[in-house]
Amino acid sequence: MEFSWSAIQSIQSLETSRAGRFQPEWRPILLGYFGLTPGMRVLEVGCGPGTLAPYLAAGVNPGTVTAVDLDKEFIQYAEDKAHREGHTGIRYLVANAYHLPFADGLFDAAVSYTGIGILQQPRQAIREMVRVVRPGGSIAVAEAVTGQTGILFKGVDALGRQESYPGAHQYWELKDRLHHALAQKPLGLGDPDWPPEAIWGLMAEEGVINLRINAWGYVDADDDSRHPSRMARIRDNGARELELVRLVRSDPQWKNIFQVKEWDELVRLIEARQNWLVDHAAFDWEAGLSIVMAGTQGL
Ligand SMILES: C[S@@+](CC[C@H](N)C(=O)[O-])C[C@H]1O[C@@H](n2cnc3c(N)ncnc32)[C@H](O)[C@@H]1O
C-alpha cells in the first residue's frame, strides 16, 4: 500500500492547527529556538503540506529551505501553495526521513516539527539529520503535546466530563473506548508517539551536543483568531471530530472497535454535544505545548 499520511490527517486539519501554533508574533522567536539565522541552508524533515517551511524560508533569507516528506499529496499541495502565494527560497521534495537523498554535511541546519516522534524508528531519522548537517550546524526536533486528553490537561478533561447534556455519559464512555483502542493498535504509518525525553536521549546519543530545550504554548479557545466566532469554532471542532470517526470507522483495522450501532450512536452523540456546547461551551477548548529540542552537530 502506498504511504499516505494525508489519509489519516488531512491537509485542512494540519493547515488549521498549525496556523494557530505558528502565529505571526511567534515566528521570529521560533527561528531562534530552531537555531536558524539568515543565510543558512536548512533541511526540514516531515514538512507535511508546507505548514512551517514558508516561515523558515522567510527567516533564513537569503538562505534556502529544502523541505521533504514521504507523502506525495502533501508535497504536491505544498508546491502548489508556494507557487500560488509566491513563496521563494523553498524546494519541496518527496523523500524518506530514513534515507535522505543528500550528501554528508550539505546543510547548515536540519529541523523537524512533529515529524520525528511519530516515526517507528526515530533514531534512524535523527541519524540521517545529523549526517546531512555540517559539523557545528544546528539540529532541532520539535514535538507537541496537545489535546484535552493530553498529559497536561487531565484536570480540565475531568471538568469536561461534568458536562450535562443528554447522553454525556455515553459520549465520554465511547470516546474513551475509541481512544483506548487507537492507542493499543498503532495507525501503522508512524506511531507510536515517542515522548520528548526519549527523543532528547536519541539526539544526544547520535552526536548532537549543546542540547537545549524551549517551548511555546497555545490555547485553542473561543476567542481564537482562527475562528471568526465562537459558533464557528464549535462547528469546526465538531466537523473534525466527525471526520476522525469517519476515517477510523472506514479503516478495516479499526472498524470493529465498535458495533455498527455504537458507531452510529457516537456520531449522534457528537452532533448532540455540539448543539449543547453552543449554549454551554465552558470546557470546549484545547491547549497545546510545542517543545523544541535543539543543539549542534558535534561529530
Ligand atoms: C504529524 S505530521 C506533521 C507534518 C508537518 N510537520 C506539520 O506539522 O504540519 C507528520 C509528517 O511526517 C511525515 N512522515 C511520516 N513518515 C515519514 C518518513 N519516513 N519520511 C518522511 N516523512 C514522513 C508524514 O507524511 C507527515 O507529513
How is the beta sheet containing 90-94 ordered, strand by strand? 90-94, 64-69, 41-45, 107-113, 133-146, 286-297, 208-220
Residue 231 C-alpha to ligand 1 middle, in angstroms?
31
* 111 and 237, same domain (yes or no): no
Residue identifier of the C-alpha nearest atom 10 of ligand 1:
115
Listed in sequence order, the DSSP H helices in the chain are 11-21, 27-33, 53-60, 72-85, 122-132, 154-160, 168-184, 196-205, 230-250, 260-277
Q: Count Cβ atoms below 10 Å from residue 103 Cβ, excluding itself.
A: 9
CATH number of domain containing 210: 3.40.50.150
Report helix, strand or coil for 76: helix
- Distance from C-alpha of 210 to C-alpha of 212, rounded to nearest angstrom: 6
The predicted pLDDT at position 163 comes to: 73
* 132 and 46, same domain (yes or no): yes
Atom of ligand 1 nearest to the CA of 96: 20
* 198 and 64, same domain (yes or no): yes
pLDDT of 285 above 70? no
AA identity, residue 210: N
The predicted pLDDT at position 171 comes to: 87
pLDDT of 215 above 80? yes
Give Cα separations from 291 to 201, 213, 219 (angstroms).
Answer: 14, 7, 15
Number of domains in the chain: 2
pTM: 0.79
* Beta bridge partner(s), residue 133: 107
Atom of ligand 1 nearest to the CA of 119: 16
pLDDT of 54 above 90? yes
* 70 and 194, same domain (yes or no): yes
Q: What is the pLDDT of residues 259-280, one digit of tens each?
A: 999 999 999 999 998 888 887 7
* 170 and 275, same domain (yes or no): yes
* 82 and 159, same domain (yes or no): no
Residue identifier of the C-alpha nearest atom 17 of ligand 1:
70
Residue 4 C-alpha to ligand 1 middle, in angstroms?
10
**Position 284 confidence tier, pLDDT thresholds 50, 70, 90:** low
Which cell numbers in the block locate residue 158? 475531568
Residue 110 C-alpha to ligand 1 middle, in angstroms?
14
Q: What is the pLDDT of residues 150-196, one digit of tens each?
A: 444 455 566 667 777 888 888 888 887 887 776 665 555 555 567 77
Residue identifier of the C-alpha nearest atom 14 of ligand 1:
46
* 35 and 48, same domain (yes or no): yes
- Distance from C-alpha of 82 to C-alpha of 115, rounded to nearest angstrom: 20
Residue 236 C-alpha to ligand 1 middle, in angstroms?
23
* 194 and 291, same domain (yes or no): yes
* 194 and 51, same domain (yes or no): yes
Residue identifier of the C-alpha nearest atom 6 of ligand 1:
47
* 93 and 202, same domain (yes or no): yes
Pocket of ligand 1 (CB under 6 A): 5, 14, 18, 46-48, 51, 69-71, 74, 96-98, 113-115, 118-119, 190
- Distance from C-alpha of 109 to C-alpha of 6, rounded to nearest angstrom: 26
Q: What is the pLDDT of residues 105-123, one digit of tens each?
A: 999 999 999 999 888 889 9
* 216 and 72, same domain (yes or no): yes
Higher pLDDT, 137 or 234: 137
Residue identifier of the C-alpha nearest atom 4 of ligand 1:
48
pLDDT of 30 above 60? yes
What is the residue-wise DSSP string for 253-270? TTGGGS-HHHHHHHHHHH
**Domain span including residue 37:** 5-147+190-221+286-297
* 238 and 143, same domain (yes or no): no
Report helix, strand or coil for 296: strand
The predicted pLDDT at position 135 comes to: 98
